[in-house]
Structure 1
Amino acid sequence: MFLPLRDSIEFTAEAARVCKTVLPSGVRILTEEMLGAPSVAVAASVAVGSRDETGGHFGSTHFLEHLLFKGTERRSARDISIAFDSVGGSSNAATAKEYTSYYARVENAALPLALDLILDMFSSAKIDRHDFDVERTVILEELAMNEDDPEDVAHENLSEALLPGLDLGRPIGGTVETINAVDRESVFAYYKKHYAPQNLVITVAGGVSHERVVELVEAELNRIGWTGSAEPEQRRSQQAMQLPKPEAMRIIKKDVAQANVLLGYQSLHASDPDRFALGILSTVLGGGMSSRLYQEIREERGLAYSTYCYQQGYSDAGYFGVYAGTSEENAKLVTELMRSEVQKVVSGGITAAELELALGNISGGLALRFESPLARMNRLLAAEIGTGEYLSITEVMDRFRSVTRDQIVAVANRVFSVEPTLVAVGKSLKGLR
């Protein structure tokens, strides 16, 4: 089945052709042909992430991200590395809460090799016991490295505090306890259950045609033996869930040079119609050097080097964070200033000049971001495993430009009308509330 999504002209005078094919096996192939691009980004992904782990499988998603590079029936881990290096390519993987992706960037002529490698890894990983034991140690070192980053610790704790008891609140990489507890058999069973044709989404962007990609994928699937008939796995529901009451405060004592402070609010899920208004609000509040947080906390008072805000949306939930890194003695004042700037948006909205500035910021940021085949490839993946709706950059900006200042006040009141959750990482943090 072949589904042309649309032709669009974005940022250059060349048309970017976006297409989708669903094979009889249930495998979905989405491409964006970027005329004249010398390279291509390719990924094999599943809409399965850390939130999908159940008892006995906690940590399995992150384990698989590591183990698929450790060898297949046809190739050793060294063979995989040499193959990518032989064409000057790069490869990696990303584990998220709602998906896992294995991707590569190569020159156009090396796409057949990249697809061969990634689909071999995806379908035929060995996951033997020795490799499993080695990667357990590697993952524990990775967790220890993250634990040494106080900003990362603050963000992990914010999601847990805002979404208590939910699968979305668990850390993506697992914990020392879950990584030590999970066994090879559980991870292998998780792999066999989820890494199947009906779950596979292949996304490609760069200097290659859709027809050529489909031809290459079909050849690889025939070699693997994935030629049966199945319906693609259904997407997650895009309806907001009823969230539990968040924690009021979480203080983490660590011997660090700077306090890392976050205010968090339960917020919009990824498909909420108000997300465009919230995006503008986030840009005005903490999206750049001209933002209110940056100007008030850094430029006017010199209290922080880094301060910003962000929205994290999932299929059925989301949260909003306001961050600053500051000295211990200034942590209380900086927290009060962050609260004050949030409440100013709630009570007074934003100015017409701020709205115009934010639209320019967002438009330019999108243009720069989507120069990259990798970013365009990930946009295809997000559309397929999320809403199923692909929006061109023009359509995205039309939605941002349709937002009114009254709508921004409304979404500010919707998100910020409750007391925020306070998360802080530091030595003493006296007086925080």
Structure 2
Amino acid sequence: MASYRFPQLLKMVPKEQASSLLFSLRDSVEFTAEAARVNRTVLPSGVRVLTEEIPGAPSVAVAVSVAVGSRDETGGHFGSTHFLEHLLFKGTPTRSPLDISIAFDSVGGSSNAATAKEYTSYYARVSNAALGLSLDVLLDMFTSARLDEADFNLERTVILEELAMNEDDPEDVAHENLAEALLPNHELGRPIGGTEQTINEVGRQAVYNHYKKHYIPENLVITVAGGVPHAEVLRLVEKELGKVGWLSGISHPTQRRSQVPDTLSAAEPFRILEKDVAQANVILGFQSIHGMDPDRYAVGIMNTILGGGMSSRLYQQIREKRGLAYSTYSYQQGYSDAGYFGIYAGTAPENAEKVTLLMREIFDGVVQDGVTKGELDLAMGNLTGGLALRYESSMARMNRLLSAEIGSGEYLSTSEIMERFSTVSLDDVQRVAQRIASGSRSLVAVGPDLVSLSAHS
């Protein structure tokens, strides 16, 4: 069993546990009490196991994941990632779909899966005593999915219904189209769930080949957060993986994605989708920074000030002072090599042009004049409190481990995150706003009678 260990941490743990430590993906760290409970072990087969023990917690969140998402699909395999998310719940040689459902229901737990653009995850939340059962079921699904033809044909219909449901949500349609418009001819611009065409065209053999290529020990990441020690998680993992021969052999984990920004094509300036709905859903978007860009903390503060809450400029100017929208916000979406920034509002079609001009005017105010010290302090309070509340959840802590392992390659405690936010200055906020505003942009609108908006692209 290969492990990563760092002298700073070894003195904090019993000697008998030292052989399975540890997790630090940074060059230098000052470990906090929080970080001292985080462990990372790499098994000889390349499987990675990461845990955060939360003393006294009665439950655990557990996920088995692979750093393969919709962006990794190639010709003939489009839609395969989303298909697998569904098909892994359709049974194994030893379990029927009902058996999988009963297993989690019998212990009062919950299970689900998520397909993203850069990873796929199968997860559950159960009591500490049911962790063994959860790992048994999830790892059986991951390593031994049945992928029968009959199940494949059934799930094709289910996925098409899911896509149809999403098409009935104009806000979701707007966001999907913004990604495609901002990242044209780029794999990150494709919809995560596929399209009606790709789901209808992909065959069972293509999905099976996608599964056999990617669902391998070197790609498997197991993350657990809750009231169970690392040594016990390892014991349970080894027990289950030993059943399928995934402990033997010597291999290295698959390398993380490059964090070098990609060169992007110019964005599509304007995209309008006529839909017979009550509201116009408008998003002003910009090509932005990638997930590990040094400016990400400044962008986080800028986003909070611009559209991150009820005190934000967008909310106050568009909703509170003018009553032109119920929902308005901004957001940053960062991936390993690209990203984009969006400003959204849902409004009456007759107000769409006015709201679009307001969104641009409010953002331009940050670009040209920056933000105030009061706004910066308020954003810091918002972020500090939000992180504290967020990491009360074992699921959020588990996902933090997953993000660090397959995404950023960097684990930070809450206090370390806040320390980085605290270094952001007023000038930094204005500078990153200018940086984003100078990038290629798109205006996406979904709703009725929106042709006049094209003049503002």
TM bin (shorter chain): over 0.9
Q: Structure 1 residue 5: deviation in Å?
A: 3.2
User: Is the contact made by 2:41 and 2:50 (CA closer than 8 Å) also made in structure 1?
Assistant: yes
Partner Cα distance (1:137, 1:260) in 2: 28
Deviations 1:16-59 (A, max 9, x none): 61010000000000000000000000000000000000000000
Q: Structure 1 residue 243: deviation in Å?
A: 0.8
| Unmatched 5+ stretches in structure 1 | none
**Alignment counterpart, residue 176 of structure 1, candidates 178, 187, 196:** 196
- Answer yes or no: is 1:115 the counterpart of 2:135: yes
Paired residues for 1:6-45 under 5 Å = 8-9=32-33, 17-45=37-65
Paired residues for 1:39-78 under 5 Å = 39-78=59-98
- Answer yes or no: is 1:83 the counterpart of 2:103: yes
- Answer yes or no: is 1:199 the counterpart of 2:223: no
1:249 alignment partner AA:
F
Q: Structure 1 residue 385: deviation in Å?
A: 0.6
Q: Structure 1 residue 388: deviation in Å?
A: 1.2
Paired residues for 1:146-165 under 5 Å = 146-165=166-185
- Answer yes or no: is 1:133 the counterpart of 2:153: yes
What's 1:5 paired with? 23
| Unmatched 5+ stretches in structure 2 | 4-19, 25-30
What's 2:355 paired with? 334
User: Is the contact made by 2:370 and 2:427 (CA closer than 8 Å) also made in structure 1?
Assistant: yes
- Answer yes or no: is 1:225 the counterpart of 2:250: no
Number of residue pairs matched by the alignment: 429
Partner Cα distance (2:278, 2:223) in 1: 43
What's 1:284 paired with? 305
**Alignment counterpart, residue 379 of structure 2, candidates 350, 353, 358:** 358
What's 2:366 paired with? 345
Q: Structure 1 residue 3: deviation in Å?
A: 3.2
Partner Cα distance (2:186, 2:127) in 1: 42
User: Is the contact made by 1:311 and 1:321 (CA closer than 8 Å) also made in structure 2?
Assistant: yes
What's 2:279 paired with? 258
What's 1:376 paired with? 397
Calculate percent identity across the aligned residue pairs: 69
**Alignment counterpart, residue 144 of structure 2, candidates 116, 124, 142:** 124
What's 1:427 paired with? 448
Deviations 1:318-359 (A, max 9, x none): 000000000011000000000001100001110000000000
SS in 2 for 1:172: coil
Change (3 A) 1:332 1:391: same
User: Is the contact made by 2:262 and 2:338 (CA closer than 8 Å) also made in structure 1?
Assistant: yes
Deviations 1:52-79 (A, max 9, x none): 0000000000000000000001100000
Partner Cα distance (1:418, 1:368) in 2: 34
2:138 alignment partner AA:
I
Q: Structure 1 residue 418: deviation in Å?
A: 4.4
Partner Cα distance (2:61, 2:285) in 1: 35
Q: Structure 1 residue 431: deviation in Å?
A: 1.9
SS in 2 for 1:354: helix
TM-score normalised according to structure 2 size: 0.93
Partner Cα distance (2:87, 2:62) in 1: 19
1:5 alignment partner AA:
F
Q: Structure 1 residue 9: deviation in Å?
A: 3.8
Deviations 1:202-221 (A, max 9, x none): 00000000011011101111
Partner Cα distance (1:295, 1:345) in 2: 15
Deviations 1:291-335 (A, max 9, x none): 000000000000000000000000000000000000011000000
Q: Structure 1 residue 141: deviation in Å?
A: 0.1
SS in 1 for 2:316: helix
User: Is the contact made by 2:267 and 2:440 (CA closer than 8 Å) also made in structure 1?
Assistant: no
Partner Cα distance (1:341, 1:4) in 2: 46
TM-score normalised according to structure 1 size: 0.98
Change (3 A) 1:419 1:383: closer
Q: Structure 1 residue 232: deviation in Å?
A: 0.5
